[in-house]
Amino acid sequence: MAVGRTIGRNRRVVTGFFRDFREFALKGNVVELAIAVIIGGAFGNIVTSFAQDIVMPLINPLIPAGDWRELVINTGPNDGIRIGSFLGSVVDFVIIALALYLAIRALARFKRQEELAPPEPTEQECPYCLTKIHIAATRCPACTSELSPQSPIIS
């Protein structure tokens, strides 16, 4: 009997663990983060290709040593500090940072314009007693005057 209870208890613990893990893994934040990482990796490849295939062919003729990404400072017969590779990574980072800055700035500008739009009016003013009333009202609660649809609207 004790063995049956132990197996049942272990099964509940394991199924509870997997249920909790499934809920965690399928939360919107985790899935969105995974998508962002994948898109970020693809964006990094695009920027690296942009730097190597478009920017560097324009810069390399200006450098007398040729491709500076291959620049190595020799420290021994078979060893060297690959300073060109490091500088290439720095250039890639600067390009990625600039692209992200421009994208975030554009989104912020769009959001700012969205926030600047005036809200729809919810009140109007009674033309007879100047009391503020709901925009859908057809009669003023203060002076009981009938209101026409052409009544002036205030904010």
pLDDT classification of 151: cutoffs 50, 70, 90 = very low
- Summarised one tens digit per residue, pLDDT across range 32-48 is 788 888 888 888 788 77
Residue 120, amino acid: E
Quote the pTM value. Answer: 0.45
Determine the 3-state secondary structure of 92 from DSSP.
helix
Angle between helices 28-50 and 83-116 (to 10 degrees): 130
Residue 88, CA distances (Å) to 68, 84, 147 in order? 8, 6, 72
Higher pLDDT, 80 or 13: 80
What tokens does 49 get?
């290709």
In degrees and rounded to multiples of 5, residue 80 shows phi and psi of -170, 155
pLDDT tens per residue across span 106-124: 888 888 777 777 778 888 8
